[in-house]
Structure 1
Amino acid sequence: MCDLLNEIIARGGTTALRDPFSDDRMIRDFIEPPLGIGCFVAESSEGIVGFQALEWSDPNWTGPNPLPADWAFIATYVAQSVQGRGIGRRLFEATRAAAEAAGVVAIDANIRKENLVGQAYYSRIGFRDYRSDSEAVCKSFVLSR
């Protein structure tokens, strides 16, 4: 997972993350975060080709644009070499099921404005724009109850 994410960070332009990930940071931020709901991995004969993590919004967040306590936020990373092959869609099937089981009301995706591939991906799987600023577009997916 670190190799995949570090390659994306090094290429630039699609993630707000700037510093390479160590194993410890990957575990802390994506695999076992304090408010984590789930982290799903896509593998092929090439190794790990994608992952998607879902985490509850932080009820103690005092920064800009806090999310409601019953919302979660999502992060998706897919290797450039396999984009467009349905990996993100399959990851979201697992993530959506975990969100529904956890009682999540809506999922937030915060996508850099220049990441047109990421924006298109989230739109294709049903996310809708709800806010933007100079750096990012925020999309939400409302879960049916």
Structure 2
Amino acid sequence: MPIEVRSALPHDAEAMAELLNRIISAGGTTAYRQPFDGAGIVSEFIEPKLGICCHIASDELGTCGFQALLWCDPDWTGPDKLPSDWAVIATYVDPDRHGKGVGRALFGCTSVAAKNAGVSYIDATIRRENTGGLGYYSRMGFVDYRSGGESVSKRFALK
């Protein structure tokens, strides 16, 4: 099945919410605990204030994943503040399509957008129990740089 990747648009939000809500309800692979509606997907991923890009992947069966990239929050006052030229990434792939190249196809587009935006590093902070996510980011070239009680932070160098 060929995978098509394009920029996500507001009319994609319902399908993206359905996918993310299935992942949330399964538990253990995302920090999100509450389900999303279409408006929440638009504000959090498709058109966020600090957004760089959001890509959606589809195949003949429909939406199979999405990936968003946002600038680090310059007003963050909590722990582990990141430099202003860093971005954070979030990836969601249909569990039935893991290992089918969806994440790789998404990251191909996201990394180009990151380079074009002038991002120096991409941060991926992953829950420890999300072994699939940890493996995915490692395969994409991310390396560990920080570890906490519940998560591991990996970074990808663009410069």
Q: Normalization by structure 1: what TM-score?
A: 0.98
Moved over 4 A (4+): none
Residues in 1 aligned to 2:102 and 2:25: alpha-carbon distance in whole angstroms: 21
Deviation by residue 1:70-127 (Cα, 9 ceiling, x = unmatched):
0000000000100001110110010000000000000000100000000000000100
- Matched ranges for 1:59-78 at <5 A: 59-78=74-93
Residues 1:41 and 2:56 aligned together: yes
Residue matched to 1:107:
122
Residue type at the aligned position of 2:139: R
C-alpha distance in 1 between matches for 2:131 and 2:104 = 17
Corresponding position of 1:18: 33
Number of the residue aligned with 2:157: 142
Query: What fraction of aligned residue pairs are identical, expressed as a percent?
Result: 56
**CA distance in structure 1 between the aligned counterparts of 2:55 and 2:106, rounded to whole angstroms:** 6
Q: Which amino acid is the alignment partner of residue 97 of structure 1?
A: V
- Distance in structure 2 (CA, Å) of the matches to 1:78 and 1:121: 11
Letter in 1 for 2:150: E
* Runs of 5+ unmatched residues, structure 1: none
Q: The residue matched to 1:27 in structure 2 has which SS? A: helix
Task: Give the residue type in structure 2 aligned to 1:79.
Answer: D
Partner of 2:105: 90
Give the partner amino acid of 2:79: P
